[in-house]
Amino acid sequence: MSKEKIKNIITNKIFVGIVAIILPFIIELLKFQKIEINIQTFMRIGLIYGVYVLIGIYFLLKKYSEKLNKIAEILLKYRYQIAGVALVVLVLFKINMSSLEQWSGFVNEPESSNVLLGVSRGIRSDDWLVQSAIMLGQAKSDNGYAMYNENIGQGKINLLMVSAPVADLVILAKPFLWGFLLFGAEYGFSFYWMLKIIALLLVSIEVARKITKKDNLLTITGGIMLALAPAIMWWFSSSIADGYIYGMATVILFSYYMNNLDWKLWKKIGIAIGLLISISSFALTLYPAFQVPFAFLMAIFMLNDFIPNVKKLKKQDYILMGITILGIAGLIGRFLLLCWNDIQTMMSTAYPGNRIAVGGEFTIDRFISYFANIFFPYSKGIANPCEPSSYIYPFIGLIILMIYSIKNIKQDKKESTFALIVSLIVLYIIYLLWEFVGFGETLAKLTFMSMSPTPRTHVVVGLIGTLLTIIMVKKFENKKIFTKAQAIAISILVVLFGYVLIKESSYASFFTFIKLEIFAIVFFSITYFLIRGNKKAWCYCMSIVAIVAGATVNPICIGTSPLYETKISQAIQEIKMEDPDALWAGNTNITSQYLIANGVDCLNGVHTYPSFGWLKKIDPEGKYDYIYNRYAHIHITLGEETSFVLLVDDSYQAILTYDNVKELGIKYYYSSGEMLDEIINEFKLEPVYSDKEAQQYIYKIN
């Protein structure tokens, strides 16, 4: 290359660089006719520079794509060995992903923070307030891992019905809880979280690997999209994440079995044991709102593996399958035998009770949440980001490619994935009809969809959409269906359509100018690269979007210090040592759950279903049955007259008199505020611990 050409290239690059540097300021002047020095201006200018950084990252990834592909090959080849080592190391360091730090704020001891990275979130109360408190309370209990813990609801709450470790055969169907029985409270707690996140990543990678025909780049991208989806991350400690992991594990194990019927017997036995655990675990997730629509998705995958290979099954396979089915039936049967009465009680509650969904309740706001998800971890504009959380994928771009696929269905019949693609598209359309139109009560009951309200079905709709998008990326790789001009025009229309929907929704004020800019860039890019068949660019973009939207939802923490390394916890433990059989109560659901987590016998807290023993003692005529006959966060207040007040659907306040307290045998009362003198005199309260600065008080009732 001549010196003149080199000089021209350098000159051109310098010119482009100068234009790139001043472009944000030119845009600012064109839009606002001036440049103000404030945070909004810096954020707008910073956004454009951020786009430059992403473009630079893209070209770096493209430049080193061969090396990255080799790294991906190694990671995928040794994924189970890497996962095993990671699990051991993380558990040894007591790493977890719980928002336990929230307790520090409630007990006013901020020095007890255990967060290493990220942010603990108050909205994740199903984690730190409910599930983690019960799990750790069970582990701290003096009566071991009993099915009925005397410290929780006076021993009337069946802990097999919730996510708590129980020393029973049924624990085989709850593998995330095995660590409590093997390693104790803190290591068991870490095992629960680390096995869960590692299992989530592994099953997601396996599913992506299956539908992309072992395409390395798409496998990793698909695994990240599926595992880090906001719909999973915001509900990570819930039955939704559990159901997804166990359900996908079933799909993958079944696929390995049916497509490798020539394997040796010991390998088949290993898969059969895995299926026994995963199917039983999925069944005992006990969340039909998610399980029902997800089960149809599982059936599609499993039938697509079963039908082509059914004639290859041998006598050995039928025997092994029969034994596996008997094992599953045995585990589920034992669970039903131990929990039937409790299940009946739960089904007869006023809330949630036996709700019947008919579909057709999907709103524009639910659709808009799909655009807003990338901002949820970083914005306080949404009170409860868990509910609108969903999967992120180029929805309209997928619809375009689906229509193109249906149009060319004749030539696609020869493809091995044809039946799977068609089945997924049909199920996707059916679920969209369920969301937007509804089935009517009879059809809803016949299909069992009556158990699945549209917000929960929407999680599965997003999952199917993501799977189909990944399939389409592989299917149309390097196939230029649209010209550049056409693809640009379509992508711009997609962004404009999204913009109109946003302005017509209740999210209009949530989407600031900067958010709209980010939205436009993100959804233009992922739509354009999808319909242009540019697999690499699409994978790089979607990986960044998935990580930004999901990876920062849950914090990285070490240990359980917010629960146990506090002054109030030490005071509770000291009283417990002197008076181990005493009955306690908390003035709120929070103080009571803190007592439960610390292993003392607490009357109230969060009860999955009502503990009628004490409730009927103070309300023998059932005057307040409708209020307390429900899943509930229970607050106990001391007062002059017995009554119950419904606060919200899943929370009530029980107002107890001194006679009630005596009859129930409550000896200690933990309050997050100092009691009034008249209550102290009326209930003969004796302060045994007080911290006015932290507003923490424990009273003995004489």
Taking 70 as the threshold, does the pLDDT of residue 10 lie above it?
A: no
pLDDT at 306: 95
Picking from 33-47, 133-147, 282-296, 672-686, which range would have the lowest pLDDT averaged per residue? 33-47
Taking only the tens place, the pLDDT of each residue in 18-53 is 666 676 666 666 666 666 666 666 666 666 666 666
Candidate from 39-48, 308-317, 523-532, 627-636 with smallest mean pLDDT: 39-48
pLDDT surpassing 80 at residue 417: no
What is the rounded (10 degree) CA torsion for 474, 426, 422, 524?
-20
Residue type, 628: Y
- Given a cut of 90, is residue 392 above it in pLDDT? yes
Residues 112-124 have a mean pLDDT of 89
**Rounded CA gap, 626 and 356, in Å?**
19
| 151 or 222, higher pLDDT | 222
Whether 130 has a pLDDT exceeding 70, the answer reads yes
pLDDT single digits (tens) 440-453 = 889 999 999 999 99
The predicted model gives 404-430 an average pLDDT of: 81
Smallest Cα–Cα separation from 671: which of 633, 638, 627? Answer: 638
The residue with greater pLDDT, 39 or 361, is: 361
- What's the confidence (pLDDT) of residue 30? 62
Quickly state the pLDDT bin for 347 (edges 50, 70, 90).
confident
Q: Residues 653-682: pLDDT tens digits?
A: 999 999 999 999 999 999 999 999 999 999
DSSP-derived pairing of the beta strands 632-638 and 651-656: parallel
Q: 481-540: per-residue pLDDT in tens? A: 889 999 999 999 999 999 988 888 888 888 888 888 889 889 999 999 999 999 988 998
**638-654 confidence digits (pLDDT tens):** 999 999 999 999 999 99
What order of strands is seen across the sheet that includes strand 651-656? 605-607, 632-638, 651-656, 643-648
Is the distance from CB of 328 to CB of 280 less than 8 angstroms? yes
Q: For the chain, what is the mean pLDDT?
A: 89
Q: Which pLDDT value is given to residue 72?
A: 81
pLDDT tier, 8 (very low <50, low <70, confident <90, very high otherwise): low
Q: Which pLDDT score, from 0 to 100, does residue 274 have?
A: 97
pLDDT for position 243: 96
Query: From CA 598, how far away is CA 696, in angstroms rounded?
Result: 15
Which pLDDT belongs to residue 264?
93
What SS3 state is found at 390?
coil
Per-residue confidence (pLDDT) for residue 504, from 0 to 100: 84
pLDDT on residue 273:
97
Whether the pLDDT of residue 237 is over 80: the answer is: yes
Q: Match 């509910």 to its residue by tokens.
A: 387
Question: What pLDDT was estimated at residue 679?
Answer: 92
- Residue-by-residue DSSP string for 34-55: S---SHHHHHHHHHHHHHHHHH
Specify the pairing of strand 643-648 against strand 605-607.
unpaired
Q: Which of 142-146, 235-239, 390-394, 399-403 has the lowest mean pLDDT?
A: 142-146
Q: Is residue 7's pLDDT more than 80?
A: no
pLDDT digits over 179-193, tens only?
999 999 999 999 999
**Would you place residue 344 in the very low, low, confident or very high pLDDT band (cuts 50, 70, 90)?**
confident
Residues 422-430: what's their mean pLDDT? Answer: 94
pLDDT at 476 exceeding the cut of 60 = yes
Instruction: Tell me which of 22 and 211 has the higher pLDDT.
Output: 211
Q: What is the DSSP string of 330-377?
A: HHHHHHHHHHHHHHHHHHTSSBSSS----S----HHHHHHHHHGGGGG
Residue 250 has pLDDT above 70, yes or no: yes
Nearest CA among 682, 655, 687, 656 for reference residue 670: 687
Tell me what pLDDT residue 518 has: 85
Structural contact between residues 135 and 152, judged by C-beta atoms closer than 8 angstroms: no
pLDDT of 379 above 60: yes
**Amino acid, res. 170:** V
Residue among 645, 673, 675 nearest 658 (CA): 675
Contact 591, 671 (CB under 8 A): yes
Q: In the predicted model, what is the mean pLDDT of residues 406-429?
A: 80
